[in-house]
Structure 1
Amino acid sequence: MTADYRRLRVALLGAGAVGAQVANLLRTHADELADRAGAALDLVGIAVRDVDAPRDVDLPRELLTADAEKLVVGADIVIELMGGIEPARSLILQAIGAGADVVTANKALLATHGPELFEAADQVGASVHYEAAVAGAIPIIRPLRDSLAGDRVHRIMGIVNGTTNYILDRMDREGSDFADVLADAQRLGYAEADPTADVEGYDAAQKAAILASLAFHTSVPIEAVHREGITAIDKGVMDAARHAGYVIKLLAVCERLTGRDELSPAGEAVSARVYPALVPREHPLASVHGANNAVFVQAEAAGNLMFYGAGAGGVQTASAVLGDVVSAARRHIAGGVGVGESTRANLPVVEIGVVTTRYQITLEVADEPGVLAIVAGILAEGRVSIATMEQTVVREANGQGGLARIVIGTHTAVERDLSETVDRLQASDVVERVVSVLRVEGD
């Protein structure tokens, strides 16, 4: 570093909850950031849709502009916090083409166009930094990309969506209904007016694609991530999980599958999936409460690693963004090309059908003799072995036919076999309905 290095021009795209905090911290902590980066960081402009719109942070009017394209020209570092695909993608490509390093928190863009952006940066020796794209303030991108680059990551389990964790945590601890807690989450600002991206798992799936690509050095497209949401989790399902010693979490699971010849010529493949899962209450992820996030990494040499903290919030996410800005500034000062993404492993990404895990199946069945034997026979026929089975009466017979609820815990089974077995259970005359099928993770 050198004290008289030229001032670096920083352009900011977007002044929402995170962008406004980044702008504020760039201005109020300018001296500290300059000391850490080795050069002054000049915020030269902030691109917004409406320069007159009210904002949570008071920003100088002269910094605001609606001309984002003009702003990125001549910038050394471009911070993209607009969200969405376009015009963010085009502006980032324009910035890279002009030689700027890019800092972004745009998980949707990275999950869909990440390889294109990284390739463009490689062509000109620039860098794309995105620590804030997954799990907010939690440092997880750098550990996966740099600290664990010499290790072999086997598995990642992440609680990467604060909205769903808040909902499931309250349902578990208070016995509340899904609809009531969702309404509270919307009132508190944890959930959007349209919560689909969160509760149906789209947000978590985008983050799973990013984590899997980093961990396994393989490009994992968003289309390859299996996704399920939490809208089918009701009080009865929660009660059954609690009774069995589990807590339900929406997990992003990224896994290196090995030792099976059908996976690939090398016997290895990658799976990325998002779904509500049963987590043993003694597992570290079970103690992640409220809107917090956590990522649990299992590596060959490093062992088990846990990263925990605030997964959202303007100030918290701004912390991760500014960390990337300092890194980008240091590269400018040191010179040389940017650090590229490693996706050279090129492992195949497989569908969920080949994954093996344990399951909990909850059924409502006719409460009459012989039903358990029929259910057990269907499971055996489908190569699904029963580990535990518990039956409770839902409705006494009283002349209209009794109804019972059966909760079945299985041994490890192949997902495809389990799915076909559940279809046969649903078609059986003795099964009124399949209440839920949950995977068991972390035991």
Structure 2
Amino acid sequence: MAILKAVRGTRDLLPPETALWNHVEATARSVFARYGFGEIRTPIFEVTELFARGVGEETDIVSKEMYTWEDRGRAESEKGQNLTLRPENTAGVVRAYIEHRLDESGLLQKLFYIGPQFRRERPQRGRYRQFWQIGAEVLGPAWSGADSALRDAEVLEMLSTFLNELGIKGWKLEINSVGSSTDRPRYVAALREALAPVKAQMCDNCQRRAETNPLRVLDCKEPQDQATIEALPKIADFLDEASREHFAAVKAALDACGVEYIVNPRLVRGLDYYTRTTFEFTVPDGSGLGTQNALLGGGRYDGLSEMLGGPKAPGIGFAIGEDRLILTLQAQAASTCESKLDAFIAPIGVAQNPFALALAQELRRDGVRVEVGDGSFRLKKSFEAADKLARRMVIVGEDEAASGILTVKDFSAGEQTKVARGDLAEALRR
């Protein structure tokens, strides 16, 4: 019988790697809490219309990548709903904001999430059909300050803090403005006109996007298309005065906080809901992501709530591809997350098992991470297991159990010492 394997484009996460995932998520929770964010957990599947209206029917996500099915009604005469595994989480967060009338508080809503998303895209390094995102959204009524350039800068400063606390090296922040809901259509029209005579010379994706979603042409990474893209009109030339002032205010606030950035006039987000500020954080070549070096991205979406039938609620948010973030940490060896346990308790003989388990209970209650062997193990087997799992080994023989003086072997130092039971927890934490 053939061995069953995980579906292509998905994977299992196993120890000790999951310790690094937990470290990343704990750091995110800690940093976001300092900025006043609370956690939101939305359903993994939503009605398909939410993404078609919010993300945009002509985006690659909606047209090619979503996992969608018709949910049968309970009776034959009952029409089922069209449901979709969430390909991104901003639309779901805004749907929750509308449904639960969070606008009625009059307060700014700062919400973050950690969880899986699903896209039927070609599997490649750091990209999976079930992938994990860490993201956050800031939205609320206009009088709450949700449309302020200060919020854009605060989100970007928070992200720089998060990456620094994780130890990510060499990150760069690129920013741009894609203008207001009136600026963008004028720019898209200019792009269509400029692309018309040259699109036939471009890659197949660009030829399709030139018709369906011209902004996505600017995302093309094909080397042969770069000269053509460089000659296309720039969004900065189509911004109205309010959009220019907003972008200038974002840059001034980042300057005041000492957050370095690069203005990239080609940086756009392909989703229909983005307005004004857009951004990406990238990492250098050799950081584990290959040629696609974007670590996270996001932007402002001032009209999304109205697009979904809700009240006016300007907002800004981002999503971090956690799979790609982990790859970067591993490639840069930036994580200080300790995966080994503090100690392995090795009873010598089954008669010492009860003492060893009671000692483990005592240490665990004192915050020490330990594993317990079995007295039936030969000493050599206990040494091998301890060396793989822990930084130290605590040997429990008849003499140790009787005297309360334990033998502790430190694998990194190559030393063996005697420690009194009352001092053991402190010694193992060092």
The two structures have a TM-score, normalised by structure 2, of 0.23
User: Which structure would you say has the larger Rg?
Assistant: 2
The two structures have a TM-score, normalised by structure 1, of 0.22
